[in-house]
A and B are shown apart, each in its own frame.
Chain A
Amino acid sequence: MIPVNAILGLGLIIFFIGLLGVLFRKNLVIMLMSLELLLNGVNVLFAGFSLHLRSPRGSIFAIFVIIMAVSEAAVGFALVLSYFRRKKTYDADDLNELKG
């Protein structure tokens, strides 16, 4: 038996760590990793409440979140690669102009 508070705490703490990573780090690749952490925290909440409410809807929604995470990682990496090819850097602070 797992208390709901423990699941809630775990999911929110992982989400919080991911948010800290996105806000503090400036390396683009590590920012993308922190986004994965954010989505994983949300997935823990979905799985926990799916069990708590005895409904498979939470698991189904978590599957869609995973699909979305995969898409985001692929497109994000494509953007990082093309950015790196032009600028030779991964610093998020250099992303300050609109023209390529």
Chain B
Amino acid sequence: MITLAIFLFFAVLAVVSAVLVILQKNAMHSVLYLAFTVLAIAGVFFTLQAEYLGAIQILVYGGGIVVLYIFVIIIVNLKEVVPERRKLLPKLFIIVTPALLLAQIALVVVRNRYAVAAGEGPGLDLAALADMLLTTYLVPFELASILLLAVLIGAVIIARKGDMHDPR
């Protein structure tokens, strides 16, 4: 019961601040609400007994990505507001598609067949997670490190000033 209460608290917090992220005109305010959302979702992870995921969420999102966003907004000096104008056909599309998706979400949530509640009994074993990550999923794990290396090099090459063939 108390778990459900904490879950609902963090869930409401996450949804409200997620709505505020996309409603802000100033991008810096959006980043602050994004940090709020991310930390609330980390709280949701903790109530779902995914402690490792929650810790990674706080470290990577709260400590890394949000700071990256803030730095980029400072660098590009994102002050001027982009005018939000759309033509008729895209406007129709962006209203109808989310409406259909919302109907689908309501349908799935209201009448799904998972009657059993999650989260009873002992929690997930962190040792089992580590064991599976480093044996069964070893190849994707190593591929992820190669992906991160490629991203590191690629981001530096894309974002640097001047031509790529320029030796400076």
Contact residue among A12, A17, A51 (Cβ-Cβ distance under 8 Å from B49): A51
Q: Indicate the size class of the contact surface on chain A.
A: 35 or more
In the bound complex, CA of A29 to CA of B72 (Å): 9
With contact pairs A6-B7, A6-B11, A60-B133 given, residues A50 and B18 touching in the complex (Cβ less than 8 Å): no
Q: Indicate the size class of the contact surface on chain B.
A: 35 or more
- The secondary-structure label for the interface of chain B is helix
Note all chain B residues with C-beta closer than 8 A to A44. 41, 44-45, 48
- Whether B147 sits at the interface, judged by CB under 8 Å, is yes
Q: List the interface of chain B (C-beta within 8 A of A).
A: 1, 3-4, 7-8, 11, 14-15, 18-19, 21-22, 24, 27, 30-31, 34, 37-38, 41, 44-45, 47-50, 52-53, 56-57, 60-61, 64-65, 68-69, 72-73, 75-76, 78, 81-84, 94, 97-98, 101-102, 105, 108-110, 112, 114, 116-121, 123-125, 128-129, 132-133, 137, 140, 144, 147-148, 151-152, 154-156, 158-159, 161
